[in-house]
Amino acid sequence: MIRKAIHVVCSIIEQDGKFLIAQRPKGKSLEFKWEFPGGKIDENETEKEALRREIKEELGIDIDIGERMTPSLYHYREFTVYLIPYRCRILSYNFIHQEHENIEWVDIDSVWVYDIAAADIPILEEYRSLLGGKI
């Protein structure tokens, strides 16, 4: 059976040599997995509009959206996701936890100890190669 992929945007929010990851909440799909924050693209919404909206809703912050990276297509048992990453920087710092269990600032070397959602791993690998070891 061919499943239509859910289109999701995610943000690699960079600051001071680190980037933000968020832990999915209990009771949601992929509970307690770590991911880049973001969410589904609504109908008639651009990728960047969706990303700004999702980050504002989930974290209460504003971001500046930069480079679009290579999307990741991943087939989970329950659904298929087409994950579209953007490198971002933070514009406001008043975090609110609307959606996630936890958020963490990590560097590319320490992120691998977290239980990362499978769709995010190819994005992390591309990001590591883009960095050449530096943000």
pTM here is 0.91
Contact 38, 49 (CB under 8 A): no
For residue 108 the two structure tokens come to 């590319």
| Each residue's pLDDT tens digit, 74-94 | 999 889 999 999 999 999 877
Contact 52, 62 (CB under 8 A): yes
Rounded Cα gap, residues 42 and 47, in angstroms: 9
Q: Which domains does the chain have, with CATH numbers?
A: 6-131 (3.90.79.10)
Residue 61 has pLDDT above 80, yes or no: yes
Q: How does pLDDT run across 2-16, given as a tens digit for each residue?
A: 578 899 999 999 999
Report the DSSP beta bridge partners of residue 116.
34
